Each structure stands twice: as structure tokens, then as C-alpha cells.
Structure 1
Amino acid sequence: MSSTDGFSDFFYTAPDGLRLHARIYGETNSGTWPVVCLPGLTRNARDFHELALYLSRTANPRKVIAFDYRGRGQSAYDPDIGHYTIGIEAGDVLAGLAALDVEEAAFIGTSRGGLIIHVLGALRPAILKAIVLNDIGPVIEAAGLAHIQTYLDPAPKPKSRAEAIDAQRVAHGADFPALTEADWERMVSALYRETDEGLLLPDFDPQLVETVAGLDLSKPLPDLWPHFEALAAIPLLAIRGANSKLLSADTLDEMQKRHPGMEAITVKGQGHAPFLETGNLPGAIAAFLDEAECLDRISKPQDQI
């Protein structure tokens, strides 16, 4: 592990043999629930770097595992575009956790990561001890997907970091007036990789764009309410960007009705998806996890603790 970066790299094999990657922050045996971080569609483990450092160094430090799905970050690209699905990616996450001997954890899912959590609730509900959904719910607004289609096709290929920041501001600036220059710089560092020639390229398989470009948004999108309702017994924190086009305020209200114990935070000046390292979010997430774990211990018979 690099003392300056604060994490170690972990490589493992997917069920179909693909080489996949995750970042590991913090101590293996911290005595608290580990935290599993799942990024959005074309994003990677670097999105969670600042939050993972925070959670691994609080008064109740936690081991944090941030995944690169297949075709993203340091995970291998899949030659079969048909394998870029939420179901297969959920299986990849379970394979990684099995390789790390993690049987239960708190999960933080941004966008697609939150959809994967819904699937994990059906495949392996016992592994979910607490959930943070970042700007995602059981209903996805077509306008949000249309916006994603717009800025992914074609994905910008800037010639410099300054140009990359400008491109992201053009695509997202209207929805994120609260971001500082440092926030935009972190976004670019997470989104792009630098080639040996010094070029910046989006750090994901270009074929992923096709999985979104082919969606017919003129038809109603299927919802995941049955999957969400199956999570009703699990402590849940939902975070929504006030300017989000993907998760509506109405859906967030309905989520609270169907999960009465759910906590909710609306982040002003941000859209899809809020930067979890900004403002009071790291402290709020840590406090939510601590409270959920404390209540879990209280509810257990003494001989199970």
C-alpha cells in the first residue's frame, strides 16, 4: 500500500475469467462493517477516493472497498458488449467480496451502483447491512437518461486537463453551480486516464456508450419498486442532487413512504450525481453508518455479538 495514496490495489477473477480490480482502503480487521463503494455507469473506483479516505480514518474507521466494474478503470475490457449488464456486474461484485472473505457490509451506490444494490438485495440480501443510494432509486427519469446519452455520445477526448475541465463544465455546469475549481479538477482526475503520449481518454470501454445509446426513451422505463420494497428492513440513506434529472423529488418522496425508516438528504447546487466528498456529506454518511451499526448490535442477542 502506498502511504501517500492511502489504498492498495486488489485484482481478482470474475466468474467468466475476466481480470477485475478494486481499491482497498483502511485496516482489514477494523471491527466495524466494511463499506463497499459502487460507481456509476462509466465511472470507476477513483470517484470514491476522498470519501474512502475519510471513512477509513474516522473515529470508527472502516475498511472500504471501491470497485472498478468490467470495462472501467483498471478492470479488463469485455470483448462481448452483451456482458455489460447490471446482473453480470452484480455477480462480479459478489465474486470480489468472496475473494476478500467479506460476508456482510454497508454499500454505497452511485447511479448504476445503486441499481446493482437493488439486484444484490434479490441475489444475496444477507450481505446488505446498510445502504446509501446516491441519486438513484427504483424509478429512472427518461430525461436523465437522455442527458447521459447527450454527453456520452461522443465522449469528449480533450487535449489537456484545462480542456477536459471545460468540457465537463459545458456538460454539467448548469446542474452543478455549487462545485468549486477543486471539485471539477477531482472529477476530471477520476474520469480520465493519461496515455503514454500524454493524451487524456475517458477511462472506460467505448462500447459502454452503445449500451446507453440504444435505449428507446420514447417507451416507459421499467421500475424496480419490488426490489426496493425488499430492502425495507435494511437501514437506508438516500441522497439526491437538487438539480437531478435522473431521480425526481416525487420518487424520493415515494421511497420514503415505502421505506418509512429511510433517511434522505437533498444536496443544493448539485445534480446527477452529487459529489459524496463535498460539504457535510462525508460526516453525514459516517454518522448514518455508525448509527445503523449501533442499532444492529443492540438488536442482537448478547451471544451473537
Structure 2
Amino acid sequence: MGDRRNYSDGFWWSRDGIRLHYREYAGPADRPPLLCFPGLTRNARDYEGLAERLAAQWRVLCIEFRGRGESGYAKDPMSYVPLTYFQDVEALLEEREIGKFVAIGTSLGGLVTMLLAATERDKLAGVVLNDVGPEINPAGLARIRTYVGKAVWYPTWMHAARGLAEGNADVYPNYEIEDWLRMAKRLYRVNSSGRIVLDYDMKIAEPFRVPGNEAGPDMWPTIDAMQGLPLLIVRGERSDILSEETAAKMIGRVKGAELVTVPQVGHAPTLEEPEAVAGIERLLARVASAQ
């Protein structure tokens, strides 16, 4: 990883003065770009495989939310919430004059995508929601609380890979050490002391500690707002975040929406699995035919 750089770095400013980062993979200008939004503790590297596969046919922007990767950290940790991330994306759309785009959102990134559907519906050319919906399984939320914001470090990449394997074997039961090593290099970075540490601000966990903060607004109307859009919902078969019942309900509310279940994977699919790849290709074919 990292031997071949086929993207450029882009930056924009949030409305409260934070310099934010995205990776841009060049593609045709006559198609709407793909905007990829990562999960809670993740960054632009999560979308390397997808972006490299699609860049020849589509322009791809892999966003890093505030507090992740090369984006600046927030002074106020209580700004680490979906509404603020959504406002940061709005600032990007305005600054880069992006009029139409395909949104691909994993977990937290999917929540941001849903908020965009509610307010920027006319800018969406298509939507991929990866293992997330308007109702989140409490068991999955409890699991996330056990690890988010807890600083860990490792002396070598192999130690980091083995640490990930120990904590996530139920999520990716078929992973080999090479897969865990690849994931480690997406999740971690080398700090100034030479230690391998998580690549996000530990303070992103603070909003989770506010009692009742998990009870957000009713998000089902955001799904209804996607009516008429090409919509793909990807669900990990072993997911503890997006239940089968919620996924089925989502499909039932949006005519023409497609559900793809990735076997033997929990939360969340990487979107590099064959089932997810095929589903995204079908969705993008629909987007292209509508242009």
C-alpha cells in the first residue's frame, strides 16, 4: 500500500474555520462525481479499493470528516455529530460548486447521506447506504461505545493487524492476516514518536457520553425523500447495526431500491466484496443511463 499515488489532495474550510481534507481520483467531467463518506472512526483510505476501481469511469471524492485523517480537529468536541458533518459537506458542495453527485455513505457516512437527501435532494443522482438505516440496532451502538475514543498504540504494523484481528474476528470471520494488515494501514498512522496509533481525534467519543444523545430525530422521512432515486442498500449478513427488518422496510418504502446482503461479514462491508461491487456497478449504470 502507498507505493502508487493516483489521487490528488483537496481541502476546503468548514463554516467554523476547520481545514478539511478529501482525496480526489480524477474521472470524466460529464458525469456526476461520487462523494464517499466514511464511518465513525474511519477516513479516506477506507475507499481506496472502490476509488481505484471506478476512477477511470467516474470522478471520486473520498471525504474525511473533521477529526479524522488529514482533516483538522475541532476545538469543540460536541461538534462531532452528524448535523455538523452534514454542514461541513454542504460547505464543500458550495465551495467546489458541485451541483449533482452520487452519495456513498458507510455507517456514519450513511447518516450524513440521509441528511443530504432531506435537504439537498435535487443534487443527488444516486445513493448507496452501506450497513446503516434510519433505525440503529442498540446492540451495535453499545458495541461501538466499548471501543470508540480509547487510545491504543502498537510498535509494529503486524502488532496492529493482530490487535484488529482479536477485536473484530466476529465481523470478518474469513479474514487472513494480510487482510487485517491492510485494514490496520487504513485505520492507523505512525505518530511523531514512531508509534502506530488510531488516525482520529479521541474526542469524537464525547457526544456518545451525553445521556440520551443517541435518541436523534426520526430519520425515516429521509428515506422517503430518496423516492425516485437509484438507491442501493448494502447490508452485512452479520451486521449488528442494520437489522434485516429495517433493511426490508427501507426497500419497501423506495420503489426500485435494491438490497444487497454481503455474506459472512458484519458491520460494515468494505464495498470491495463481489456482491457489493456488482450492486454498485448496477446502481452506477442506472445513474449513467439517466444522464
Bin of the TM-score, shorter chain as denominator length: over 0.9
Equivalent position of 2:246 in the other structure: 251
The range that moved more, 180-189 or 4-13, is: 180-189
SS in 1 for 2:239: coil
1:198 aligns with 2:198: no
Structure 2 counterpart SS, 1:33: coil
* In structure 2, C-alpha distance between the alignment counterparts of 1:134 and 1:19, rounded to whole Å: 27
Task: State whether residues 140 and 221 of structure 1, in contact with CA within 8 Å, keep that contact through their aligned partners in structure 2.
Answer: no
**Residues of 2 paired with 1:261 and 1:215: CA distance?**
38
- Alignment counterpart, residue 258 of structure 2, candidates 263, 273, 291: 263
CA distance in 2, matches of 1:116, 1:187: 23
Structure 1 residue 272 displacement after superposition = 0.4
Quote the residue 1:303 is aligned against. none
Provide the C-alpha distance between the structure 1 equivalents of 2:211 and 2:288, rounded to a whole number of angstroms.
39
Matched residue, 1:287 = 282
The correspondence for 2:112, drawn from 106, 116, 125, is 116
Which segment drifts farther, 163-172 or 102-111? 163-172
Amino acid at match of 2:19: R
Q: Structure 1, residues 104-127: CA drift from partner, whole Å, max 9, x if none?
A: 100100000010011111221111
Q: Does the CA contact (< 8 Å) of 1:54 and 1:282 recur in 2?
A: no
Give, in whole Å, the separation in 2 of the partners of 1:170 and 1:216: 31
TM-score using structure 1 length: 0.89
Unmatched tracts of structure 2, length 5 or more: none
Task: Please name the residue that 1:239 is paired with.
Answer: 234
* Aligned ranges 1:169-248 → 2 under 5 Å: 169-214=165-210, 216=212, 223-248=218-243
Distance, in Å, in 2 between the alignment partners of 1:100 and 1:3 is 29
Give the drift of 1:178: 2.7
**What do the CA deviations read for 1:144-167 (whole angstroms, capped 9, x no partner)?**
111111122524322221221122
Worse-matched range after superposition: 172-181 or 122-131: 172-181
Task: Report the counterpart of residue 6 of structure 2 in structure 1.
Answer: 6
Report the equivalent of 1:23: 23
Maintained 8 Å contact 2:149/2:202? no
Match of 1:95 in 2: 91
Give 1:241 deviation, angstroms.
Answer: 0.4
How many residues in Structure 1 have an aligned counterpart in Structure 2?
Answer: 290
Displacement of 1:19: 0.6
Deviation at 1:222, TM superposition (A): 5.2
In the TM superposition, residue 14 of structure 1 has moved relative to its aligned partner by 1.1
Is 1:14–1:95's contact at 8 Å kept on the other side of the alignment?
yes
Question: Retained in 2: the 8 A contact 1:37–1:107?
Answer: yes
CA distance in 1, matches of 2:115, 2:215: 20
Deviation string 1:201-230 (CA, Å, 9 cap, x unpaired) is 11111101222244559x877541112111
Distance (Å, rounded) in 1 between the aligned partners of 2:175 and 2:262: 12
Q: Percent identity?
A: 36
CA distance in 2, matches of 1:211, 1:170: 27
Alpha-carbon RMSD across the aligned residues, in angstroms, is 1.9
Is the 1:178–1:268 Cα contact (8 Å) retained in structure 2? no
1:160-175 pair list within 5 angstroms: 160-175=156-171
Using structure 2 for the length normalisation, give the TM-score.
0.93
Answer whether contact 2:162 2:177 (CA < 8 A) is retained: no
CA distance in 1, matches of 2:158, 2:261: 30
- Quick check: 1:135 aligned with 2:131? yes
Rounded to whole Å, the distance in 2 between the matches of 1:21 and 1:245 is 30
**Conserved? CA contact 2:156–2:196, under 8 Å:** yes
**Equivalent in the alignment of 1:41:** 40
Deviation for aligned residue 1:293: 2.6
